[in-house]
Structure 1
């Protein structure tokens, strides 16, 4: 996190994070933004950094995505009005912002927008003016003014996450989208963007000529080490518990187990633990000891894995590819076909398609960048692998 925090506070390019799905990239950014903001509150720095309320999901339509970014920035000014005032920063009239953001006229792409406040040549009335159009250009110009006035150069900014770059599937699509939003979004004064991606796509787009000098070299995010799991569980418990003596439904030891089963995917591990807890009444946890709860959770996880395995019917060669891919680390690129015993990509692709049919792997075809590890075992795939590896349905036949 220190490297991320340093790049947010001191870097002159936007930060890029590369790491597996569910590894905790967006959570890491949230923590870093909070630390940066806390450093200002403690008067350790003159730079004020404030996070946008939610990560922005990447979209193929650049105009829609640009609008999402500007709306999120406008909302951030509303959310942080008091903080900005205490920091003696210039703040727009948030009453007018709220009226405008909630007005029906601003909803929908491609509509003429009317606002109740000044900027862009709009008359400042107390109600939405349906006749006075406020173009996208006028709205964006107003947002740029707010950012410049609230965050003069070198005094901090808003921190926004552009998430899930891999949803664009190909490096070419990601490059095209980011190049289209470079000037209206990535060049905004007073904004610090953190771009997150998996399956190698963030690394692929960061070094393109038009984005060189705009995006940093990617920071590789690795899964949380097992020794930090107890600390992670304790931190979540302190944050969400309503009583000081509260205990987590799933112990740190049990969480380490599901974390390993999920191939160190923090998001999936938390989801499984929460599903287990939600399936049981509160009395279940109050009336049982930690060992009994741990045994119940282990059995619940095995049942879930067996259920997923039972839904998959594949040929032995396809099963072997799944097991080999798991041993390979869970991700690969089509160019790795020879390492899985295939003569060419076409034969490997045939088996990958079968794995995709059962949602045990996800892949994206990227003819523009053969370096990308674009084939990846899914959450369901890791559960299926766990079930087979532990013979939950029947003994695993050697070589299959």
Structure 2
């Protein structure tokens, strides 16, 4: 029998991917009411695009997807006159700004296809959907009567079907058409497509991220009928929003902190209730056990859910069905400790590097290169040498920009937090025998 069904669940309650933009997602977005209100307020009332800043795995993407759904539902129910519709997929910033701009326009075009009926029911203008679908599905522009037929109007050309030999002109025409469609469908103040520009920190250098976002300011961020939400970690989103060229275009970032500890039991209980198909469903990871996992992972929700899944699959369903909650909780703690020991066996670090990890954890798990004195180093170069070794074993992650003092560019990873926790609790040996840790 299916693993989850045998335990009484219709599917995996610890799913890691972002919450969907639907009723289920809204119910499972626990502990985020204040952030949701703030995001919706800025989305509707401000003429600047919203920026979210927060650690990796904190749930920024889930918040945006649910907020876009809430906004669209409030239009449907008559509580709002602004029609907001989410783009179908989050967009990832690319260092090639031209490629990213094209991805944005194609996402908007596909959204017009997806929401054709919704737009028509709302009395909004829609482009010629049949022609648009043909254009998106084929790189061939077919001519009729001496002119090229395209979703953005007739163009002169040869009298036969041909491959597109003027890509630059075609893209310019297509983008002009998308801008016109947006203006027609979403007059000023009437809503728009909500696009998520996610994981800005994937462009590792803040100056590069700034450059890309400045390059897409006019072709993307100035599009009518769009509301963009830009998400990033490690200080990059805040750094980008502060640049003069984007001043007045991007809002001051909303800080998204980890879900407070007191909401975690409710968060997991909501998931278990939503996915249960019978009253006696047995959870491999209860709310109490998940609280422990959440503590070990330093309040990283994504990593905690990942650990919950991995532990669940480490044992057969019969174990959970035949065990009480206390036994399952002990098994989960032992599993985490064994995982930490497995990591530790593969790590070969000098005591000073272990001390850096512990000291970094002591100041919250993140720092900038300028914090070298706080961490006991005389200069940044010496600290960087130790950071490189921690990075090699996946215990920390860092940006490549050492000169930007605004950024907290070095962070402990999920693996690093697990190893640190286990060492601090005496579950694995914190020192190398016979070596002075100083």
TM-score, structure 2 as length reference: 0.83
Aligned to 1:130: 163
Alignment check: 8 A CA contact 1:362 1:377 kept: yes
CA distance in 1: counterparts of 2:437 and 2:121, whole angstroms: 66
Aligned to 1:177: 212
Aligned to 1:251: 286
Deviation at 1:81, TM superposition (A): 2.4
Deviation at 1:267, TM superposition (A): 1.0
Deviation at 1:64, TM superposition (A): 0.8
Deviation at 1:276, TM superposition (A): 2.0
- Please state if 1:232 is matched with 2:232: no
Aligned to 1:222: 257
- Please state if 1:166 is matched with 2:201: yes
Tell me which moved more, 76-85 or 329-338: 76-85
CA distance in 2: counterparts of 1:116 and 1:325, whole angstroms: 61
3-state SS of 1:213 partner: coil
Tell me how large the CA RMSD over aligned residues is: 2.6
Distance 1:348 1:132, change over 3 A: closer
**Out of 66, 83, 90, which is 1:55 matched to?**
90
Matches within 5 A, 1:83-122: 83-103=118-138, 117-121=150-154
Superposed CA deviations along residues 164-215 of structure 1, whole A, max 9, x for unmatched, are: 1112222211111011000000001011011111111111111211101100
Deviation at 1:242, TM superposition (A): 4.9
Tell me which moved more, 193-202 or 164-173: 164-173
**Out of 317, 327, 340, which is 1:292 matched to?**
327
Tell me which moved more, 352-361 or 322-331: 352-361
CA distance in 1: counterparts of 2:421 and 2:82, whole angstroms: 48
- Please state if 1:340 is matched with 2:378: no
Aligned to 1:72: 107
In the comparison of the two structures, how many residue pairs are matched? 391
Deviation at 1:149, TM superposition (A): 1.6
- Please state if 1:352 is matched with 2:387: yes
Distance 1:84 1:384, change over 3 A: same
Tell me which moved more, 158-167 or 180-189: 158-167
Alignment check: 8 A CA contact 1:17 1:197 kept: yes
Alignment check: 8 A CA contact 2:359 2:375 kept: yes
Matches within 5 A, 1:271-286: 271-286=306-321
TM-score, structure 1 as length reference: 0.90
Aligned to 1:263: 298
Matches within 5 A, 1:146-225: 146-225=181-260
Aligned to 2:42: 7
3-state SS of 2:98 partner: helix
